[in-house]
Amino acid sequence: MTTAWTMTVDCTDPAGQADFWCLALGYRLADPPRGWDSWEDWLTDQGVPEDEWNDGANISDPAGVRPSISFLKVPEPRTVKNRLHLDLQVSGGRDQPSGVREERIRQKAAELIEAGATVVHEAEQNGKLDHLWMADPEGNDFCVV
């Protein structure tokens, strides 16, 4: 039997990170728990002070297939390279012509740069773009492949 899981990202701005990763992954903000019309209603009913409402955020796959991702507010910024990162597989795979792969990678990267990401390194294989190592708005590593 498998175990249900989500991934949690420590960050300083959970709502901002959730918005960025919704764009990056095609996810959406997670629905509030059953019985509540909004997260604000749920937080109010749970007695959570308003100044703590951005202490966490959750995004989910609209199709309900892929794992959800949570963002948890922590006081310290990221200080070292991630040991775990996401690869956004947008190129169609290495069997695609290199020009097609590069166009798809750069198109996605441009969208994410507009949303606050940065390119850390362009990785080539045989003189052609293989993937981009990028950082999200808070510096967390990911790749566009």
- Of residues 83 and 19, which shows the higher confidence score? 19
Q: For 73, how many CA atoms within 13 A lie in the half-sphere containing its CB?
A: 12
* 21 shares its domain with 67: yes
pLDDT at residue number 41: 95
What is the arithmetic mean of pLDDT over 116-142? 96
**What CATH number is associated with residue 14?**
3.30.720
* 66 shares its domain with 97: no
* 23 shares its domain with 66: yes
Look up residue 111 and give its two tokens: 């969208």
Q: Give the closest residue to 91 by CA, choosing from 117, 61, 129.
A: 129
Domain-embedded: residue 80: no
Average model confidence (pLDDT) across the chain:
94
Helix 14-25 vs helix 98-114: angle between axes, to the nearest 10 degrees? Answer: 150
Q: How many domains does the chain have?
A: 2
pLDDT at residue number 50: 93
pLDDT at residue number 47: 95
pLDDT at residue number 9: 94
Domain-embedded: residue 79: no
Residue 83 pLDDT > 90:
no
* 60 shares its domain with 36: yes
Rounded-to-integer distance, Cα 20 and Cα 42, Å: 23
What is the arithmetic mean of pLDDT over 87-111? 96
Q: Which of 73, 105, 129 is the last residue of a domain?
A: 73
What's the domain range around 123?
86-144
pTM: 0.90
Domain-embedded: residue 78: no
Q: What is the pLDDT of residues 4-29, one digit of tens each?
A: 888 999 999 999 999 999 999 999 99
Binned at pLDDT 50, 70 and 90, residue 49 comes out as very high
